[in-house]
Structure 1
């Protein structure tokens, strides 16, 4: 049962994140330390250095031979359900769109497992629950964040390709009418091969696309043959990886300070994000868990970890690729504020049903 000491441990884990957030916000809003261009550079530092090293560091220290594969299968089924629903919505609804499908996937499936999930899971169900949450984090980084990175890169590459072709046409004399450009737009669209070639080249230069994969490969080798990472190598990784979460929250504070309002996306989108994060995600996870036959504490941990606050990494990607960063940042900030009472409520309901 959760006591006040357990709640305090969760608060202790969360408050430092808000300190970093406030420092980032104040450095632009109050003290004018950074320009918008410098803020973009800081976000890029986080996206290409601290977060990949943070991801590699925690993936390299898991034991892949002790993973709970039914739990991982349930998580995969829940995300496939979300993808299927969003694909149907984007194709069949007049309000559906590819861009909003990407953002909705982030909101409903990607969680902040390590900062909030680990202390909370330990307080609720002990060390076995912590192991499950960490396993879910590793799979999220290897599969689902990489998938998110892929679709974001496809979107940006396609947009850049089309924009460059349109600019080339307009430089020839925009005397060309808009109608002419629209009629000829099909000829400027890249082929599937050229698009994917450009995307894979971009991903090959992005350390986020392989940091966790390299980490889990090392984990397999280290646990199979009982190797330890050389101290000089581990120290080199830790010096940057320890700053991963803090600098990500600092970057989010910078982003907030550049907006006109703290709640940059408005009330309706904030509520939309909270519904996806704390209702749609756990509901899909419950379906996936029942489908593979999870029961007992493993079932309860699966549902609770799906209701954790929004992933900070998803904001860094949204900011870097220019896709609804205001919505994701609001989901991270408000999600961490409301997550504790909501997760305790989930815990109480699941215990009552048991």
Structure 2
């Protein structure tokens, strides 16, 4: 498990900015490597697959194997995050409809507005910045994003194009969840923890070594994947960036601090996680369904760039706010 970080309220915003800067420097390194063609598209794809299927999965398994179910399943926490996210999701859809966008494009834009890069950026960064106790709340955010919103976009796009809901859509959604290595590794880790099985030393060292590659590998992969992103439809991308980096954490903060009685530290982690930039897997979904992929590409690029400042500001705020 990562070592407990020093309390963030011991630092000012400038200090927190410098603590987050190395994470974004790794993203910039990946971007530069791919932009100069030192890392080609095939290499970027390969390192992304390595992180997604091996390094990140090992890290998530090791983390979850050391957690109890109560640390990753808090109904109040889940309801607060889910309600706030649904509000922003619906707002993004209403704005898209007002611009006369079809359902599939509106669903993609709504996905950009609420789905942050929790797996590749959030878990490694928040675990190191906020300590090992931040892992459970961050995993709850990741689980809601994967199970609820990644399923919802498939249902909306497929249902709108077919004109009705088919049972095959639900089967596709279920198989997608079962094949997602992040969900599988978390489930296996929690099962290991639930049965209180001792972790053999060779296995523990194996997942520790492999999982250690997740943070630098994931951040480098994020940057490399940004190199081929284009900044088209800037006005829409700017709106979606505003939703993700400002409106989403604001709504989550209101739900966690005012509407629901979420435990203070967990609430601060939830707010920090909700401030993360648009997730890369939204682009993969948009590309797969051919629903405004350039718009998503621009949103990822702009939100990741702007988040260098906004994520630091949000983390600094949750460190001092009297929750």
Give the TM-score of the pair, scaled to structure 1: 0.67
Q: 1:335 Cα deviation (Å)? A: 0.7
Aligned residues: 302
Q: 1:332 to 1:308 in 2, by over 3 A?
A: same
1:268 paired residue number:
235
Unaligned runs of 5+ in 2: 1-7, 288-292
CA contact (8 A) 2:26 2:216 kept: yes
Separation in 1, partners of 2:128, 2:210: 23
Matches within 5 A, 1:154-173: none
CA contact (8 A) 2:275 2:310 kept: no
Answer yes or no: is 1:58 the counterpart of 2:63.
Answer: yes
Aligned-residue RMSD, C-alpha: 3.9
1:221 paired residue number:
195
Answer yes or no: is 1:340 the counterpart of 2:312.
Answer: yes
Separation in 2, partners of 1:299, 1:198: 33
Give the TM-score of the pair, scaled to structure 2: 0.72
Q: 1:84 to 1:195 in 2, by over 3 A?
A: same
1:46 paired residue number:
51
Q: 1:338 to 1:218 in 2, by over 3 A?
A: same
1:169 paired residue number:
none
Q: Which moved more, 1:286-295 or 1:327-336?
A: 286-295
| Secondary structure, aligned partner of 2:86 | helix
CA contact (8 A) 2:112 2:299 kept: no
Task: Output one character per residue of 1:100-119: Cα deviation in whole Å (capped at 9) or x when no partner.
Answer: 43443444353554344456
CA contact (8 A) 2:67 2:193 kept: yes
Answer yes or no: is 1:197 the counterpart of 2:171.
Answer: yes
Q: 1:342 Cα deviation (Å)? A: 4.6
Larger radius of gyration: 1
CA contact (8 A) 1:55 1:141 kept: no
| Secondary structure, aligned partner of 2:9 | coil
Separation in 2, partners of 1:109, 1:319: 11
Answer yes or no: is 1:241 the counterpart of 2:211.
Answer: yes
Q: 1:283 to 1:205 in 2, by over 3 A?
A: closer
Q: 1:153 to 1:74 in 2, by over 3 A?
A: closer
Unaligned runs of 5+ in 1: 123-129, 163-185
